[in-house]
Structure 1
Amino acid sequence: MYRLKRIKIARSIFSLNDIEHGILRKNKFKIGLGYVTNPFYSGFIKTLAVSKLDYRIHFALRATNLNPDPFDYFNCDEIESQLATVTTDFIKFETEFDHESKKMIVSQFLFTYLRDFGGIQSIKKMLKTIFKKDFKGYSLKFKPYNRIEKKHPIS
């Protein structure tokens, strides 16, 4: 479904993968943790690609697959607050803490796109901001995909 080219933009036909990985992820391979650029995207997709990657788009795309989205659509006037909401909701829902062994256990999804999120330190910083708590000395552990994630893959 994600590979099927069926979305027409300016006389070109794109797949959902073209849009997500080519345009929104700035020409990245679907695999490779976000570190590997795909040189095989067309010049048009490269032209349409965002100039700066915004990791929050992953949460917006993910939210539509995991649970009923709190928004019927994303509105240009409210996009910043909407992206903040889906990011916070996902992180709070998917994150567990083992305070005894000082571990933050997060979704495997964050590992899948590790570079897009800025790496381990940026993920820790995001958790600190969302939970408003200093996790100094905590390690990060990625849990395997749960049933919901396996049932509703993003791409």
Structure 2
Amino acid sequence: MADTMQFDLVSPERRLVSVPVREVRLPGTDGDLSAMPGHAPVIVNLRPGMVVVVDESGAEAEFAVTGGFAEINNNSVSLLAERGHARGEMTQAIFNEMMVDAIRRRKIAEEKHSAGEEIVAAAVKLLADMEAMGTHIGLDPNQASVPD
């Protein structure tokens, strides 16, 4: 079994990273998951959170994602993020934009109760995951405000 696998992280705007890695930690909707070389093939839906990659030397890099999916194979992980940024790029302004989108989704879901309680619960969880990601990075989730 190889010691590394290929990791590619892309968002609609750009490719964030393409490197060999020893491990990728993903914020899955059904729970967090670590992928390493030799992992069984699977597609994972992602929730907002931090993707952590461990390179060949053991150094870690973090990327904030708002969701998306990852395709894991025995020798690669390809992640398509709804929106993604390297942790070092995350500013309060960028995080506020992400929070505003999550708050809007929750408001829309709550206004459309006919959509069902599952959708409202999913929107509330999305917002909570965004808040947790911001707190992890050291950003203030309370600074984001949505115009009425």
TM-score by length of 2: 0.33
Higher strand share: 2
Higher helix share: 1
TM-score by length of 1: 0.32
